[in-house]
Amino acid sequence: MPSPVPSRPPTLDEVAERARVSRTVASRVINNGPNVSRAKRDAVEKAIRELGFTPNRSARALATRQTGVVVLAVSGEGPEVFGDPFFAQVIVGASAALEKTDLHLMLSLATNDHGQRRLRNFLQTRGADGVMLVATRGADPMIDIATKSGLPTVFIGLPVHGTPPYYVDVDNAGGSRAATEHLLRAGRRRIAMITGPEDTAVGRERLRGYAEALLLAGLEPYATAPGDFLEASGAEAMRALLHAHPDLDAVVAANDNMAAGALRVLRDAGRAVPGDVAVVGFDDMPIALHTDPTLTTMHQPVQSLGREAARMLVELLDGAQPASLILPAKLVVRESA
- How many Å apart are CA 176 and CA 262, to the nearest integer? 17
For residue 10, cis peptide bond before it (omega within 30 degrees of 0): no
pTM score, whole prediction:
0.78
Domains of the chain by start residue, with CATH: 12-55 (1.10.260.40), 67-170+302-327 (3.40.50.2300), 172-299 (3.40.50.2300)
- How many Å apart are CA 181 and CA 209, to the nearest integer? 10
Closest CA to 309 of 147, 60, 139, 92: 92
pLDDT at 124: 80
Closest CA to 305 of 30, 95, 78, 80: 95
Pairing of strands 330-332, 296-299: antiparallel
The amino acid present at 293, given as its one-letter code, is P
Give every CB contact of residue 146 below 8 A, 6+ residues apart in sequence. 73, 123, 131, 133, 153
- Give the pLDDT confidence of 61-118 residue by residue, as tens digits: 444 446 788 999 887 655 556 567 888 899 999 999 998 788 889 888 776 777 778 8
The amino acid present at 288, given as its one-letter code, is A
pLDDT at 318: 82
| Greatest extent of the chain over all pairs of C-alpha atoms, in Å | 95
pLDDT at 118: 82
Taking the CA atoms of residue 143, residue 149, residue 154 and residue 157 in that order, the dihedral angle to the nearest 10 degrees is -10
- How many Å apart are CA 142 and CA 11, to the nearest integer? 35
Low-confidence ranges of the chain (pLDDT < 50): 1-6, 58-65
pLDDT at 62: 41
pLDDT at 66: 64
